[in-house]
Structure 1
Amino acid sequence: MHEAAPDVGDQSEDASALAITLGAAIRFARKNAGLTLQTLAQRTGLSQSFLSQAENGHTVPSILNLHTIARSLGTTAHELLSPPDDDVSLVRASDGPLLEASPGATMRRCARRSAVMAANEITAGPGTSASSATEHAGEEFVYVLDGVLEIELGAVTYRLSPGDVLYYAATVRHRWHNRADRPARFLITSSPPF
């Protein structure tokens, strides 16, 4: 599994704060589940040293790795990323930090707290794809803001342009691709968060 993640020493204060907060949430969930770092490493396929760096706020796992960690801890990536007591979430256009959605693609969380949905903005560089296909409980919709995006949904591939919306059961195996030679930007909303 791809473990490389940015070292927070090279990033903004927002990224450093995210790394520390997320690391504490992962450690809390791991201890609450009664797991050692070694056991979590075995369950996730990630190295113990990588997990330790994440827990200590020295790195931010990619979204794919964060979902893997969360599932192994019996929670969701959304819960690990969410502050515990926010009833209102305002995310300005300039708000960061950005998380790695997959190599060549970043994700900006559009809502910091919600128990019923996760809304994210993905910017996918030319020729990039989601790290792997996924399926999970709930529903999703994708709204393309810029560029051209392909969504594999089961055995069918949908080509989406700006303004197009695709809504589907997330239990169907799905994956996005930007096969174009320019970036694509899209919103993806999942309910419930996974």
Structure 2
Amino acid sequence: MNKELGQKIKEVRTSKGMTLKDLSEKTNLSISFLSLVERGLASIAIASLQSVAEVLGVDLAYFFSMPSKHEKMICRSYEQEAVLVEHSKNVYCSLASNFEDQKMDPMFTILLPGQQRSDIAPVTHHGEEFCYVLEGILTYMIEDKEYELYPGDSIHIPSSIPHNWANFTNKLVKVIIVVSPKIFE
């Protein structure tokens, strides 16, 4: 029984939006068996694991490779976790691996439509903030001024200046933000 192997299978499966039922139907392995494998409570034969690898679109060797010191610094798409901040219309997805003494927090962020000016208050914190707009129109407030940022625009500020951002449009706004020091643990 290999808990790490099961975790890898589950991570790749969920990153592809597959349920255990989907994987079961495509591999002809039972849902209960696959669940046991993912939880590290059952062993899987190499032939069955090869079938799982093919369905998930990964090489069989992926399940046996140990990450090198440098590979721990890579954040795979299926490892990214989304965080919805309470009382916010923002979804944050960390783009960072978690190595020791990490100083910045890069995130892919989606600002949902329909924010109201009355809901946005200026904030300050230590460090710096960088934002790059991928899609939509982002309103960035610095002290008493508002700036509209369009796709391809960026802003880099000391975070000690009162600031905030918002999506006052009826479409999604997608940005890459890098904050230093880290704000999410």
TM range (shorter): 0.5 to 0.7
Task: Name the residue aligned to 1:123.
Answer: 110
Gaps of 5+ in 2: 1-9, 12-68
| Structure 1 residue runs of 4 or more that deviate by more than 4 Å after TM superposition | 129-132
Does 1:137 pair with 2:137? Answer: no
Q: Following TM superposition, by how much is the alpha carbon of 1:174 offset from its aligned partner in structure 2, in angstroms? A: 1.1
- Report the Cα offset of residue 132 of structure 1: 4.3
Query: Aligned pair 1:173/2:158, yes or no?
Result: no
Summarize deviations over 1:113-140 as a string: whole Å, max 9, x none: 2522111111111113786432111111
Correspondence for 2:76: 92
- What amino acid is aligned across from residue 108 of structure 2 in structure 1? E
Asked if 2 retains the 8 angstrom alpha-carbon contact of 1:143 and 1:164, the reply is: yes
Q: Which amino acid aligns with 1:103?
A: S
When Rg is computed on C-alpha atoms for both structures, the one with the higher figure is: 2
Distance 1:97 1:107 in 2: 8
Structure 1 runs not aligned, ≥5 long: 1-12, 15-85
- How far apart in 2 are the matches of 1:174 and 1:94? 32
Change (3 A) 1:95 1:169: same
Aligned residues: 111
| Residue among 90, 96, 108 paired with 1:111 | 96
Identical counterparts, % of pairs: 23
TM-score (structure 1 length as normaliser): 0.50
Equivalent-residue separation in structure 1 for 2:76 and 2:120 (angstroms): 27
